[in-house]
Structure 1
């Protein structure tokens, strides 16, 4: 009897609605965050059984909250179960972005953005050797498959009928923190309710847990140890449920090193699978003047790496540029990342310098002529001389020299006036024998 056995097909993971397998490993299933460029930074999407943290230290903007709204809107549009943990989840849901009524193709969608209306449409005359080169891009294009990631529009809001239908079918559920309990009791209460939701028998749809503002006033006075304990416990719950994922937002007063101490963001990265910081330029006017086309910087602290030692983003992210630098013999390192919010969408892209002189700069203006300026001469007489010069006119004045007594020559008069010496005239001598010759 032969000991060889036919190798059976490996057990494939369940492909849920609105999800797909990772290109790195068939055992990893990823789902979209609702932002194509953000999915690229994660290596194709947020893996199931993983948690993501987005910190926004700026008090004057709400870009971190906008990422959470994309995350929830994507879950509702793809038919997944969504659980929102917030002190006022109803108002949060009403302000979600949504799909525009008239669906447009991806290429025509960019026409609505004010900064991309004319880019790439006007063909310019360049050298023939550069015509076939790839056009310079700072971000990734939208997905052609709308089942995985929808094309949301910031000018559209979720209809009331969609919210009511999701509540009736229990696709959408809320968890409200109780402010009357102590800090530890509030944390254990929320973790217990999340565990009950994760126990639901879902055979076709994953579950999304969204916490827009961890540590808000309704959570009580939390310490740094409480925040770390909650995030670590949440990740432990997700590890047991391969059909769930979570996205957590950190409010501005908890996103700085001044609150959590030195290395605060690194500690948060250790207890979560993915951690980002969105630092807006609104708090620093000088950065706004230097980068007028961007709204803030994106810092990556941790990236998810399920079933592997290397994060998926290192191999499959286009914006980070590590995959391109690995194939290069010299290596180019990782790109600096920024984000900007246009009229219709939120975009993450690589940092680049703008056009010299500004976005609207197209030609140089002629230099203005300098006005005529009086020139003071050494003798103290002023004369107006107009010069059409392209450079600045300088006024130079010489100090009056001390009066010196003239030194009289021997041939000077008694009056002190020096008489000029007369030059002797030249004499010409003619020869009588040869009148055509003469000597000086």
Structure 2
């Protein structure tokens, strides 16, 4: 009789613990990584989510440093998408160095993100529960041991059902009717909720004309760290927080004392410690002007070492953008690229090494475009045909004896 009861050993303690942990509903805007199951959240830019080491999002407990050269502000747009996504998902957004006016300038939701949750939930349940319902049908052709096999298949199918479709928008494992990455429109403005979850900690923009010791002056970094520690300790462990730091060390926002290495590096080190301590609640995204602080300096290199991911935006000159928008360009139905994206480091968390550009379907040469409806899009870069070479654009090739034919080309 004991041999017949051994088939029920499949329901062990570990299986029950896994079932209980899986039934715990995730926070809004959070889903597990398809690689190792760690929790991730969206950056607000779908193409950037696909670049982050194959995790299909920014892993919680990590930071991303975005460097930008020139006088443009593409990095600021990236931060606004990141902050807007947090506001829509109900996350706590903490902004350093900016005031309330920065929050009122966030892009609003696009038309594709205004689908009702009822329709999205019905489509998600139909796509996810289909295979599981087929597993639940009893099979009379299987013997007495077949029930255990069917239970295993049901358990495996239900386990992988939680992963969802990571390459598409509008899917989430935390809530079948929730959208993981929204579309935003730059021509619209996001309406903040009345009890706003955005917190602004402005930096010192005006010099203090008081004769006192400099050591007694309050650093904006220490004030921001105290603000973060207070809110992280006051909220529950299921609350997600986003740290937004635009134009770090910019002379327009920070004083010369804040640019000292002993000041900013201690701040980034403390922020890294908070990210590791609250590894399931906190993410951070920072931009820095590398024109003022080049990568060749020791300060910038140390800032890169204290960040989990480092990206660099290199915008094209305005003349180059105008040249690429000629009618003879190969991307006639697409917007011309406005700059190049350089990936210096991506967050890697497991022994497999994560996934770089090849795992995400992109090559080494990446470009970006910023448009009103599509937002900031990262895509492979390709050179258009030479301007004025109409025959090359039409595929015509000539040689000394006249126009080349198919026989001349096939050699």
Q: TM-score range by the shorter chain?
A: 0.5 to 0.7
Matches within 5 A, 1:5-404: 6=12, 8-9=14-15, 12=21, 15-26=26-37, 28-42=38-52, 43=54, 44-59=56-71, 61-88=72-99, 90-100=100-110, 143-145=169-171, 147-159=179-191, 163-167=192-196, 171-179=197-205, 185-216=219-250, 217-221=252-256, 222-223=258-259, 225=261, 226-241=263-278, 242-251=280-289, 253-257=291-295, 261-262=296-297, 265-282=300-317, 285=319, 289=323, 293-306=336-349, 308-314=350-356, 317-320=359-362, 334-344=363-373, 345-357=375-387
Offset of 1:267 from its aligned partner?
Answer: 3.0
d(CA) in 2 for partners of 1:16, 1:32: 13
Tell me the equivalent position of 2:143: none
Offset of 1:341 from its aligned partner?
Answer: 1.3
Tell me the equivalent position of 2:162: none
Deviations 1:48-107 (A, max 9, x none): 111111111111x1100000000000001111111111232x1111111111357578xx
Contact 2:357 2:364 in 1 (8 A): no
Offset of 1:143 from its aligned partner?
Answer: 1.1
Contact 2:104 2:190 in 1 (8 A): yes
d(CA) in 2 for partners of 1:41, 1:358: 36
> In the superposition, relative to structure 1, how do residues 16 and 316 fare at CA in structure 2: closer, same or farther (>3 Å)?
farther
How does the TM-score come out when normalised to structure 2?
Answer: 0.64
Contact 1:30 1:48 in 2 (8 A): yes
Contact 1:265 1:301 in 2 (8 A): no
> In the superposition, relative to structure 1, how do residues 193 and 205 fare at CA in structure 2: closer, same or farther (>3 Å)?
closer
Deviations 1:281-316 (A, max 9, x none): 127x4586469821111111221123x245533398
Larger of the two Rg values belongs to structure? 1
d(CA) in 2 for partners of 1:250, 1:213: 5
**Highest RCO, 1 vs 2 (Cα 8 Å, sep ≥ 6):** 2
**In angstroms, what is the RMSD of aligned CA positions?**
3.7
Contact 1:72 1:210 in 2 (8 A): yes
Offset of 1:209 from its aligned partner?
Answer: 1.1
Give the stretch that moved more between structures: 29-38 or 208-217. Answer: 208-217
In the alignment, structure 1 segments of 5+ residues that lack a partner are: 106-139, 321-333, 366-440
Offset of 1:255 from its aligned partner?
Answer: 4.4
Contact 2:86 2:92 in 1 (8 A): yes
